[in-house]
Amino acid sequence: MMINDPESGLDFNLADESATCALAVRIARAAAPGDVIALLGDLGTGKTVFARAFIRAHCGDDEEVPSPTFTLLQTYDADTLTIYHFDLYRLNHADEALELGIEEAFADGISLIEWAERLGGWLPANRLDVTLSAGANANARRAHLLGHGYWQAKLGEGISEGAIHA
């Protein structure tokens, strides 16, 4: 179920992992090269589940999508774009992200960034924040989407219409 409006963000109650995946697929359809999706939330709230579904929406269901916790970055070549999946949990300082080629990723592909808050001032102004948190039961999650820059309009145009039914 969706609550709120694009200016203050959209809230979704996600009944289970499949609802989290459905939301990720919906956002994947709206994303284009140059887009940054910041995945925020505590450990175990579904950031990697979301990223996996997003990547598979572009690369196919058979795509293996390991968590980049130890490598910090995995890249995926879809038909017409590259998806950069960052996991910044182990970053000690935001400047370390530059060594990963994050500036090139922002310019060339779609960037999915787990623990995006660790980027500090390097986080682009045009982005979608997806904050995941625990829901009403062990399998449920809540998602809060907040668009910054042009993503605010994207939320109103496509993500909120026909929203996820959970």
Whether 87 and 68 have beta carbons less than 8 Å apart is answered as yes
Dump pLDDT digits (tens) for 118-156.
998 889 999 999 999 999 898 899 999 999 999 988 887
**What secondary structure letter does DSSP report for 101?**
T
Dump pLDDT digits (tens) for 64-119.
887 777 778 899 998 889 999 998 998 888 888 888 878 888 888 999 999 999 99
**Residues 139, 36: Cα–Cα separation, whole Å:** 27
pTM (2 decimals)?
0.87
Look at residue 158 in the predicted model and tell me its pLDDT: 62
Domains, the chain, in order of start with CATH, read: 9-159 (3.40.50.300)
